[in-house]
Chains A and B, each alone.
Chain A
Amino acid sequence: MLVSFTAVLNYFMVDYIGHRAVALILMLTVSLTAILFDIFPVLIAALLSALIWNFFFIPPVFTFHIETPEDVLMFLMYFVIALINAVLTFKIREFEQNSREEEEKGKSIQLYKTLLSSLSHELKTPISTIIGAIDTIKENELKLTDLNKNALYTEIEVAGLRLNRQVENLLNLNRLEAKILQPKLDWIDVNELIFDVLRQNKENSTNHFVVFDTNEQLPLFKTDGIFIEHILQNIIHNAIQHTPDDSTININVTAENSGFTATISDNGDGFPIDKIDLVFNKFYRVNNSQTGGTGLGLSIAKGFTEALGGNIKLENIDTGGAYFRIYIPSESSYINSLKNE
């Protein structure tokens, strides 16, 4: 098409520029085609342009006959150059694509390496603790004081719980990514649910003040209670782990027109401002952050939130500390006055 169009355009100008210049213009068109299209259209364009040039421009026009030996040479040269042009451009593009693929492969290998190193670290630390503590107990049965023994038992217990948490996180992440987890909507009392999460966190939060003021005006919401639990659990756990002892963590819930918003804020150090966009990424950990996390908690919270059609936002508070805001769209129901005979 492009070739024919250019040819028609040139037909009117041939008197001014001569038929040999037309060859160059047609060549330019073929080159352009090579940049834009695949190899076959380019080959066709090369062939077509050669024929058009011959038929319409090389004297005698309107025949495929060529008079002068110069023009024969020109025609053959034209045809070969157009072909080389097409093939070269195609090769360059192929090369570019290969290097792009190579680069992407490299990136995913990098991600995989990060994943593996993070995983092996997070899983092997508690495993080493358990095996090491048990060896110590077995081999020093008589030498260990009761106090030391108890300390080792506690280490084993903590390591076991940590392992369990890591595995649960990995499973959840996997299920979220595979989209196997479909929310099961049911009426839930969000106040009740938050107290339940806090009760489950009681043992880890002895050095923090976790404050939740119930919102007694809150209606029931139709959502997946287990999802909400995972979201809050992960954010609260994150806050407890990454704020200094004696920090306060505040939880609040408010009803919206079309759902509810839960906010979790703390008075810790907040997040590095340039890292805020990264914290929801898988395996992302803020530099120097204490171990004990997988770098999965917040991405899981985000995954569950989005699976419910909601969104999660993080910002720093001016006075210090982090502020998580989770919005969950949901049907609500005020039936507190329901027939209570």
Chain B
Amino acid sequence: MNKVEILIIDDEPQIRKLLQINLESNDYKVIQAMTGKEGLMFAASHSPDLILLDIGLPDKSGHEILKDLREWFNKPIIILSVQDSESDIVSALDNGATDYLTKPFRIGELLARIRSAIRRSHNTENESIIVCGNIEIDLVARIVKRDNEIIKLTATEYNLLSLFLKNEGKVLTHHYILREVWGYGYQTETQYLRVFIGTIRKKIEANHNNPQHIITESGVGYRFQ
């Protein structure tokens, strides 16, 4: 089987080196671009399986590269960002980034995100049953089971949970969830979201105060795992 190809677009040589060593020793093939322009070129010529994109590039902002890439590139793009730039992260996610990591990130976390993003991108056929740990959803019968027992959910709770399960491992922004579950016009009604996250956690988590499935990504959104 061919090695999975990853394109790194980052202007920092040290970060590129670190990523290259780690990715190559985990059996990925690595292509490196120093600038956004070079990144766009390599993305077109190599068509990699995943792109790691630094959002703070000097020549062209990472946000523009992301938009340019998303016009034709439909494989995962994970953005790398500095800490405390939640609004940057949210706008990148809303513009089609698959996931994000804040510098300084842990390598274990990086590898896990890459694996999860690639797995999701391969897994495009529509399954009617999704299993995640002890949670199972049947999208046709609209049934959710926890430890093989059916749990009772209201319509909104079901819609919210099925959205999470369809996007397992992916961080979903507040806006995105509100739009998908409640519809246009509700994107800013975060209080609905908070309340429903609370009630769903009580139904599916062993301890709703120490959630293992619905993880809060502060200032950004939620991730189901």
Contacts A168-B83, A340-B156 given; indicate if A189 touches B219 (C-beta within 8 A): no
Q: Do residues B191 and A333 form an inter-chain contact, with CB atoms below 8 A?
A: yes
- A/B interface sample: 17 pairs, CB < 8 A: A160-B104, A189-B197, A192-B216, A195-B210, A196-B218, A220-B194, A225-B218, A225-B219, A226-B84, A226-B219, A335-B195, A336-B195, A338-B192, A338-B195, A340-B154, A340-B157, A340-B199
Residue of A nearest to B219 (CB): A226
B86 within 8 Å of A by Cβ? Answer: yes
Report the minimal beta-carbon distance from A76 to chain B, rounded to whole angstroms. 74
Report the minimal beta-carbon distance from A139 to chain B, rounded to whole angstroms. 21
Interface size class of chain B, counting residues whose CB lies under 8 Å from the partner chain: 20 to 34
A192 to B222, CA, bound (A): 12
Report the minimal beta-carbon distance from A227 to chain B, rounded to whole angstroms. 10
A214 within 8 Å of B by Cβ? Answer: yes
Q: Do residues A226 and B86 form an inter-chain contact, with CB atoms below 8 A?
A: yes
B2 within 8 Å of A by Cβ? Answer: no
Residues of A within 8 A of B (CB): 160, 164, 168, 171-172, 186-189, 191-193, 195-196, 199, 214, 220, 225-226, 229, 333, 335-336, 338, 340-341
B residues near A225, Cβ cutoff 8 Å: 218-219
A residues near B190, Cβ cutoff 8 Å: 186-187
A residues near B198, Cβ cutoff 8 Å: 189, 192
Picked from A164, A189, A196, A199, the residue with its CB within 8 Å of the CB of B194 is A189
A68 to B156, CA, bound (A): 109
Q: Do residues A229 and B218 form an inter-chain contact, with CB atoms below 8 A?
A: yes
A214 to B104, CA, bound (A): 32
B128 within 8 Å of A by Cβ? Answer: no
Beyond known contacts A226-B86, A340-B154: 5 more, CB 8 A cutoff: A168-B84, A196-B218, A214-B209, A338-B192, A341-B156
